[in-house]
Structure 1
Amino acid sequence: MLKTKKKILIAPLDWGLGHISRTIPIIKLLQERGHEVITCGNKISYNIYKKEFSEIKHIKIQGYKPYYSKKRSQTWALIKQIPKFIKAINSERKIAEKISLEQNADIIISDNRFGFRSSKTLNIYLTHQLKIKGPFVLMKIVNQINRLFIQKFDHCWVPDFENSLLSGELSGSNLQKTFIGPLTRFKKTIAETIKYKYKYLAIISGPEPQRSLLEDEIQNCFRKTNEHCAIINGLTKTKETSSGKITFYTHLETTNFKEILTKSELVVCRAGYSSIMDLYILQKKVLLIPTPGQTEQEYLAKHHQETHSICYQKQGEINLKKASFNFIKPKHGRKKKLLKAALGKVSL
């Protein structure tokens, strides 16, 4: 039973849509418990949240605005953006203080935003990356910085099981942390069927220009199959269209997204952590395509190939005829309500 109604600010990072979508189950549970949630983020997050929660209050703030290189290595592209990221972190620190005061907020949940915390609130940092993967020459200092920022928060929530089934080494750290279970908008497994509307469904998101490069390659691969296929392109401004046997969808709210997944036999998507959580819960067969040079995705693709026989292919070398599709086997044993337990620890 709810003792005290709290006001919570939730701010996801603008680095792919997964940071936004994985906060949706947290928001729903908080609202079910009678708390008030205010979301903070850019226009893309506003559009997505409004599709899920028509009455939710949203405060627009600037993001980190990351971009990728067209090349296979992203190291130099990210190094060049470090001054911009530092400026964004310092700026959002001041913004969080201002908003928390104006809104009389009790708690902040920051999804991978280093600076979004306030001296006036309890601060929770949400991440699966306690250990960042990347070029060896940079990793020691990068992980030291990552650790220092996380320690500035009161709590660190990791969206995985306690055995790090989905995140592997990424969540391995002696930092104080609470595992809250996989975060996904979907609740139930999708049963296999005899007849599907689409043979392949591609789910595409992430920073440009790699998002568009993957979409172009996927379109060419789909046309060669002569099968009915669908692409969810991760855009929020476009409308549903079709070209030949390919149907294009924009970013979809939960019900419509699951409907398209249900109608699709096989899924092709990035090796992003939020996609992995979704597909684990839904038990859909998948082929992973890590973003070139995105070391976290490259690690997750290899990790799930080794531990769950999930096939992955490199962008630029996608061959659906040679691909095998598999699903991440469900975790057995007693299911713990990890997220509810974590909320209880902070009186939510």
Structure 2
Amino acid sequence: MWVFPFNTAQRKIFQSLTPAMVSGAVSSPTLMAFLEQLGGTAPLARIFSKRSKKTLKRVLIAPLNWGLGHATRCIPLIRALQDLGADVLLASDGVALNLLQAEFPHLPCLELPSYRIRYDTPSMVWNIGRQLPRILWAIWQEHQVVERWVKQYDLSGILSDNRYGCFSRRVNSVFITHQLHVRVPWLSWLVRPTLRLFMAQFDAIWVPDVAEPPGLSGALSHADKLPSSRVQFIGILTRMSSYERHPEYDVAVVLSGPEPQRSLLEQRLLEQAMFSPLKFIFIQGKTQAKNHHFVSPNIEVVTFLTSEELNQVLLSTQWLISRSGYSSIMDLAALGKKAILIPTPGQTEQEYLADFLSEQHFFVKQKQEALNIEQGIRDLSQTSGIPQGKYATDAFHPVLEQWLVQL
């Protein structure tokens, strides 16, 4: 499904475009005038022009819709590709697609089949096991869709963030993951080789971490032996940057992840925040529509914030509360903030990361069923946070530029 960001005047211009103009050379004065008139929507107009790969690299970026983390960590890649002159198409589904549309309203967006992941129980084996047929079907479907898009939109390359079906043998396809060694209770022996078979379909595997162990992801990405010679550590991916901001909030709660656990965590935190003297802001992670309200004099609630808005809020907040997803941790590393990490129940990756980082006294870990905001904030005095600047936020640039040049 296409999402067209034209306004009324631009739509009239687009409708006046003739087939001859579309199929003509890019140097056509008429076509160039059309692109100039479109202004901010020119990237979408270029989809309909036949340009040589020598003058334009067209890249599809497809993050998984499993919370917002996979989409948010693709934002710096999207920005960098635009700066490098690439023509970028975005693809995902659900809240992740909504977020990308809000961040990049001028870029074309495509809708992929949904995995429809839910975490109804604290058991990862049960949660994923019973949804596995649907997930595998979605992977097969998305691969068929991507193969069509490669030809239809003349793609030059694909960056797939944890979408196992978003590859094509006809163009260079890169898989982005921080989990080279997935942790699944009792089934790691089966799951790991299976996922490596999927990853083997890609030309390269990019890990958003430093190569020197233990890095930020610990054992999830670092082990004695890499699963493939095509693995490359590219440095962390974060949309956040650090600068001075005037203090405004005591606590920022950043919510994300699959339902119903997202809503359960929000409710438990709200119940405790209501009786706290501290000033809170809750960012719900609901990207369907933007709403803002106060549930009490000390609790401000917003459905979602753009990257720039969120960056400003987090920098003006003393303490953060969030899930222990890897994308959230990369953002915390960029900001140097202290945080209470609450793993999604049954999501073993988040449980591992919360343990791994709290043991180093970077953050405080609390379980969802045993939340205590007051105690958590007291415990933060014994933590350091990840020192701001410890991990370079632009290390991926040379890797991305080299990849683009070689397409």
Q: TM-score when scaled to structure 2?
A: 0.80
Number of residue pairs matched by the alignment: 341
Matched, 1:179 2:233: yes
- Separation in structure 2 between the aligned mates of residue 59 and residue 265 of structure 1, nearest angstrom: 38
CA contact (8 A) 2:250 2:318 kept: yes
Residue among 263, 282, 286 paired with 1:212 = 263
| C-alpha distance 198-122 of structure 1, shift in aligned 2 (>3 A) | same
- Separation in structure 2 between the aligned mates of residue 14 and residue 7 of structure 1, nearest angstrom: 22
Residue among 346, 356, 363 paired with 1:310 = 363
Partner SS state of residue 109, structure 1: strand
Residue among 162, 165, 170 paired with 2:215 = 165
Unaligned runs of 5+ in 1: none
- Separation in structure 2 between the aligned mates of residue 171 and residue 308 of structure 1, nearest angstrom: 21
Q: In the TM superposition, what are the counterparts of 1:4-153 in structure 2 within 5 Å?
A: 4-69=55-120, 71-135=121-185, 137-153=186-202
- Separation in structure 2 between the aligned mates of residue 165 and residue 328 of structure 1, nearest angstrom: 12
CA contact (8 A) 1:128 1:160 kept: yes
Amino acid at match of 2:62: A
1:118 Cα deviation after fit: 1.0
Partner SS state of residue 242, structure 1: strand
- Greater shift, 206-215 or 170-179, is seen at 170-179
1:336 Cα deviation after fit: 9.0
| C-alpha distance 14-322 of structure 1, shift in aligned 2 (>3 A) | same
Higher helix share: 2
CA contact (8 A) 2:65 2:94 kept: no
CA contact (8 A) 1:190 1:284 kept: no
1:148 Cα deviation after fit: 1.2
2:343 counterpart residue number: 290
| C-alpha distance 142-344 of structure 1, shift in aligned 2 (>3 A) | same
Unaligned runs of 5+ in 2: 1-52
| C-alpha distance 337-281 of structure 1, shift in aligned 2 (>3 A) | closer
In the TM superposition, what whole-angstrom CA distance separates every residue of 1:184-208 from its partner, at most 9, and x where no partner exists?
Answer: 112x324486xx3221111011111
In the TM superposition, what whole-angstrom CA distance separates every residue of 1:141-181 from its partner, at most 9, and x where no partner exists?
Answer: 10011111111100000111122421111112512311111
CA contact (8 A) 1:179 1:338 kept: no
RMSD, aligned α-carbons: 1.9
1:263 counterpart residue number: 316
1:342 counterpart residue number: 399
- Percentage of pairs with the same residue: 35
- Separation in structure 2 between the aligned mates of residue 251 and residue 120 of structure 1, nearest angstrom: 37
In the TM superposition, what whole-angstrom CA distance separates every residue of 1:56-95 from its partner, at most 9, and x where no partner exists?
Answer: 01111222110011x3223212100010111011111111
- Separation in structure 2 between the aligned mates of residue 336 and residue 24 of structure 1, nearest angstrom: 12
| C-alpha distance 299-255 of structure 1, shift in aligned 2 (>3 A) | same
- Separation in structure 2 between the aligned mates of residue 53 and residue 224 of structure 1, nearest angstrom: 38
CA contact (8 A) 2:158 2:167 kept: yes
CA contact (8 A) 2:139 2:165 kept: yes
Matched, 1:156 2:208: no
1:338 Cα deviation after fit: 3.0
| C-alpha distance 319-190 of structure 1, shift in aligned 2 (>3 A) | farther
1:330 Cα deviation after fit: 4.4
- Separation in structure 2 between the aligned mates of residue 50 and residue 237 of structure 1, nearest angstrom: 10
Partner SS state of residue 311, structure 2: helix
Higher gyration radius (CA): 2
1:45 Cα deviation after fit: 2.9
Amino acid at match of 1:184: T
In the TM superposition, what whole-angstrom CA distance separates every residue of 1:111-130 from its partner, at most 9, and x where no partner exists?
Answer: 00111111221000000010
Partner SS state of residue 251, structure 2: strand
Q: TM-score when scaled to structure 1?
A: 0.93
In the TM superposition, what whole-angstrom CA distance separates every residue of 1:227-270 from its partner, at most 9, and x where no partner exists?
Answer: 22110000013411111121111221111111211221110000
- Separation in structure 2 between the aligned mates of residue 155 and residue 342 of structure 1, nearest angstrom: 11
